[in-house]
A and B are shown apart, each in its own frame.
Chain A
Amino acid sequence: MIRVDSAARTFGEVSVLEDIDLRVDPGEFVALVGPNGAGKTTLLRVINGLLDPDEGEVTLDGDPLSELSSRAVSRRLATVPQDTHVGFSFRAEEIIEMGRTPHRSRLDWSDDGDPVEAALERTETTHLRDRRVDDLSGGERQRVLLARALAQEPDALLLDEPTASLDINHQVRVLNLVADLVEEGRAALAAIHDLDLAARFCDRLVLLHDGTIAAQGPPETVLRDSQLADAFETETAVTRNPVTGTPTVAALSDRPDRDSHVHVAGGGEPGVEAVRSLWKAGFDVTAGPVPAGDAVVSLCDQLYIEVTTAPAFRQPGEALDDALTNARAAEAVVVTDGPGGQLVAEATDSTVQVRAEGHGSVAARVDGGRVDDTAVPALVTAVTEQLDGGIRSNSPGKNAPHK
């Protein structure tokens, strides 16, 4: 349906889009994601013909955009704008009726009601038809603009941040509606800021970074791609939303950068706490051995942390060797009360220990002595102090001793 072939666009000296190849097929809902200024809106404008590409070509159903009149384009492709502010006191129905513009001659003032009625019904805006658009809420106005696009009876929809100004309820309703429309055979391309929403509703994500497509594919793949962190210039953690079952992304822009390797031995809740707090504090973390299926394993998977697992209820054998290699290379080893921890403790001269106490609270111990009962900061402090003390500092990290 929509096809972009090696399109490029510059504004003056600045290259905004470079070598873009993109296809959106009927029945496909594609999200355009990427940081601010990546060129998402520019790409949408190139596709709807508002901007001409400097190089390359856009085709709709095989017809080059440059050979179609804007009227012909708007019969096939409807754009739902980002700015939902409509400065005039038109009634909602009048706005929706404007969607019929490309289908009617200039002097035909009749209401060809059916597509408008259908659009009103489809977007559940029938009750708003006589309200003035500037009196509507953001969510209502967005639905009216979607209805306007539907009144165009297009084969493809372009949406620029359709959920930007909406509350969580309306975000889901609007995207659900778009997903339904796509299921009926339309194609949709939406610039969406919210990666979770994009992953939840779209069939495919296209990651735009610095005017080029950095990655594209199914949401799980794109969100786990290291390109994502590069594009957004922040560490991200991808987990699966337990309710929707779709990937959700957390940006971890506040994670400091420490050049020290810490090994966490032992699984279970103390292991999870230790891995999480140390990773968040910026340490390079490795973990293991832990039994397969331990909570530490899934956490490490999400954070791209190397973890060695041993089959549950068996001697860790090989896994222990791998873990010990990591532990010996690390500048500090944290041993938890969890399964597997003690084995490492015996094999190394670990001095930092973490124990689970009571209801999930975790205490950190250094040299067998208890540090603090607010374990998370305490653990990080303990590890940092140990590294500063030079006890196991055999690599010249940033937190290496001041000799």
Chain B
Amino acid sequence: MRVATRAVVWSGGLFALLCATILVSAGLGPVRVDVPTVARATLNTVAVPAGLSVGLSDAALAGLSVPVPSVDVSYTGLFSFDVPETEQLIVGRLRLPRIVLGAVVGFGLSTAGTVMQGFFRNPMADPSIIGVSSGAAVGAVAVIAFSLSAPLQAAAFASAIVTAFAVYVIATENGRTPVATLLLAGVAIQTFLGAAISYMLLQSGNSMEQVVVWLMGHLSNSQWSEVEITLPLTVLLFVALLAYARDLNVMLLGEEDAHALGIDVEWTKRILLGGSAVITAAGVAVAGPIGFVGLVVPHVMRLIVGPDHRILIPTSALAGATFLVLADTVARAGPAEVPVGIVTAAVGAPFFLFLLRQREVHSL
């Protein structure tokens, strides 16, 4: 039980750290709220799904009104502590959605980064390596620049998935997907999409600033509705990827060895790639391509807990969530609000360099 025990102890500790960070973060900002009040307000906000109702709503598509089935989930609060209305509003409506979304995005990006670094056996791999972020950016920038009526997040998510799938198809021949081909196809597609994004940026006119902010990665104006979709999707995919953690360990020995140890290599690659692509797309769609979280956090955690993905995936995910909440707190409550992507890069890179100098990183 040693591995499972270690995973639970590390994850438990990091989860507690994440919760503490969320509570402290929610108290910080233009209006300071003390931690006990934050805690009560947070608990008041906690809700569980109480019912499902499926209805039809009209969506405009190409000038026509098309009925689209929509799922309404009703939530019921679990607690009702006594909290002043202003504080409840600030914490529950303004700060928590953003903080929780930040945590979910950080969680997802770090999970995907960990899996991709192992998958590619390459320390430079990050969640966007197969073009997910560039793909999302194309969708999002198109929506902003050309004022399309499609919802931004949905467009970003869809174009991210399409891009990742295209990279996979390009790199696959006769049912086999060599990792090196995948990597290079991803780089080429990213470059190509970079051109498209730059062109749209030039054409974006008045919305250019909005495009730039999106491209930097941001969490402002986050809504509970975004959390409602991103959180379950991220957790679900995280569980799926965690289920393949042992297979990923064996894949680190090389595909030939993995095959000799009974791993269905191509199937496992599809699961790992698909899971990482979707979890990344879910995060990038709501927060933009926040850099460095998915690259640095897995490295740091690998130095601490070792290369076993059964421990590395959950600890990286929780550490990534904590890191992004902290970075967004700086971005949000600092002297001037900046996109969180600037903070993650500005803080993450020097910290990583410090680690490089302190502890020799000779392999993944």
Contact = CB atoms under 8 A, between A and B. Distances in A.
Interface of A: 45, 48-50, 69-75, 78-79, 81, 83, 86-91, 94-95, 98-99, 101-102, 106-107, 109-111, 134, 148, 152
B3 A79 contact: no
Nearest to A71: B262
Given A94-B308, A111-B2, A88 B252 contact: yes
B244 interface: yes
B261 interface: yes
7 contacts: A70-B264, A71-B262, A72-B262, A87-B252, A89-B307, A111-B3, A152-B261
A322 B252 CA distance: 68
B166 to A, nearest CB: 27
B247 interface: yes
In the A-B complex, the 7 residue pairs with the closest CB atoms: A102-B262, A74-B262, A79-B260, A71-B262, A109-B4, A101-B261, A88-B307
A74 B261 contact: yes
B304 interface: no
A101 B364 CA distance: 22
Interface string B88-121: 0000000000000000000000000000000001
B3 A83 contact: no
B259 A111 contact: no
A131 B307 CA distance: 14
Nearest to A80: B260
Contacts of B246: 101, 106, 109
Contacts of B306: 89-91
Contact of B262 (A45, A94, A101): A101
Contacts of A95: 253
Contacts of B7: 109
B53 interface: no
Given A50-B260, A70-B263, A106-B244, A90 B364 contact: no
Contacts of A81: 254, 256-257, 260
Nearest to A149: B260
Contacts of A102: 261-262
A255 to B, nearest CB: 39
A184 B263 CA distance: 27
B363 interface: yes
Nearest to A103: B262
B307 A90 contact: yes
Given A50-B256, A109-B310, 7 more contacts: A74-B260, A87-B364, A101-B263, A102-B262, A106-B244, A109-B4, A134-B363
A372 to B, nearest CB: 58
A81 B260 CA distance: 9
Given A81-B256, A87-B363, A87-B364, A106 B247 contact: yes
Contacts of B254: 81, 83
Interface of B: 1-4, 7, 121, 243-244, 246-247, 249-250, 252-254, 256-257, 259-265, 306-308, 310, 362-364
A162 to B, nearest CB: 14
A106 B310 CA distance: 11
A358 B259 CA distance: 65
Given A69-B264, A88-B363, A89-B363, A49 B3 contact: no
A89 B260 CA distance: 20
B309 to A, nearest CB: 10
Contacts of A70: 259, 262-265
A148 B246 CA distance: 15
Contacts of A49: 259
A111 B250 CA distance: 15
A107 B249 CA distance: 13
Contacts of B250: 98, 101
A151 to B, nearest CB: 10
A40 to B, nearest CB: 15
Nearest to B303: A89
Contacts of A74: 260-262
Nearest to B257: A81
Contacts of B4: 109-110
A111 B1 contact: yes
B295 to A, nearest CB: 18
A119 B2 CA distance: 19
A90 B253 CA distance: 10
Given A87-B121, A109-B246, A48 B364 contact: no
A361 to B, nearest CB: 56
Contacts of B256: 45, 50, 81
A125 B13 CA distance: 34
A42 to B, nearest CB: 12
- Most chain A beta-carbon neighbours within 10 Å: one of B250, B254, B257, B265: B257
B260 A78 contact: yes
A354 B33 CA distance: 109
B179 to A, nearest CB: 13
Contacts of A45: 256
A50 B254 CA distance: 13
Contacts of A94: 249, 308
Nearest to B4: A109
Contacts of B257: 79, 81
